[in-house]
Amino acid sequence: MRFYKVIAVTVIIVLVMAVLGCDNGSTNDNDNGKEITLVCLGDSLTAGYGTAEPSEESYPAYLQKKPGINTVINAGVTGDTTAGALSRVDSDVLFYNPDIVIILLGANDFFDFLHFPVSETKKNLQTIINKVDNGKRKIYLAKFYTDEVAAEMAASISLPSGIINYIVNQYNKMFIALAASSDNIELIDDIWTGVWGIHMSDLIHPDAEGYEIMADRIYKVMEPYLQKLK
């Protein structure tokens, strides 16, 4: 009799553990059961520079709270250039075999354009894209500026307006060309509306609320694709 009681208790425990196991600990679930992993590759704008708790207040951290994404990896390194990001694509992006990759790079190249000409920045970004693009992975290429933001950024380092306009024009052409290089790429034109000059920790970095708004703007672009994955 005692044997059958042990069996009964064991069965109950197994059933309870099975029910609890339905919660895999991820922030979000998808209707089709597919685990969606997103990697955010970038510089300080991705790392969450300017906040008290970057791991909790960066734009990738806020994306983790959105529906439809199970795991968000913050692969942002403050001060990184496109060359630096290229050197770590294998370890910081491909290692996770993500379903979606956001690339937000180029600001540090822009600020030091004498050492990082646009042609070199474009080459680095194209190589990153080529490495990441496996034919089925969704890639979002985010501009680190709007024309107005770029002008203010450049003005902060005392560049003549003619040079500013030329560089911004070259970057615009670069992003358009990169976005057209693969059917798997979508360009995010504006991450700054509602952030720039309003929710900032310094002249070029958002504060925590700014990063949350940035995440909202990025997610709005991503949402139609996430809906297709359900």
Q: What is the pLDDT of residues 187-229, one digit of tens each?
A: 999 999 999 999 999 989 999 999 999 999 999 999 999 999 8
Percent of the chain's residues with pLDDT above 90: 73
Please give the average per-residue pLDDT across 172-176, as a whole number. 97
Instruction: Tally the residues of the chain.
Output: 230
Residue 213 CB-half CA count within 13 A: 17
Place of tokens 């922030």: 27
In this predicted structure, which of 105-109, 158-162, 187-191 has the lowest mean pLDDT?
Answer: 158-162
- Asked whether 128 and 103 are in contact (CB, 8 A), the reply is yes
Whether pLDDT at 19 is above 80: no
Whether pLDDT at 92 is above 50: yes
CB atoms within 10 A of CB 164: 18
CA 33 to chain CA mean position, Å: 23
DSSP 194: T
Crossing angle of the two packed helices 161-179 and 147-155, in degrees rounded to 10? 140
pLDDT of residue 68: 95
Q: Report the distance separating Cα 81 and Cα 111, nearest Å.
A: 10
* pLDDT tier at 33, thresholds 50, 70, 90: low
For the chain, domains (ranges, CATH) are: 26-228 (3.40.50.1110)
The H or E element that residue 54 is part of is: helix 54-57
pTM of the model: 0.85
What contacts 205, CB < 8 A, 6 or more positions away? 44, 45, 49, 50
pLDDT of residue 31: 46
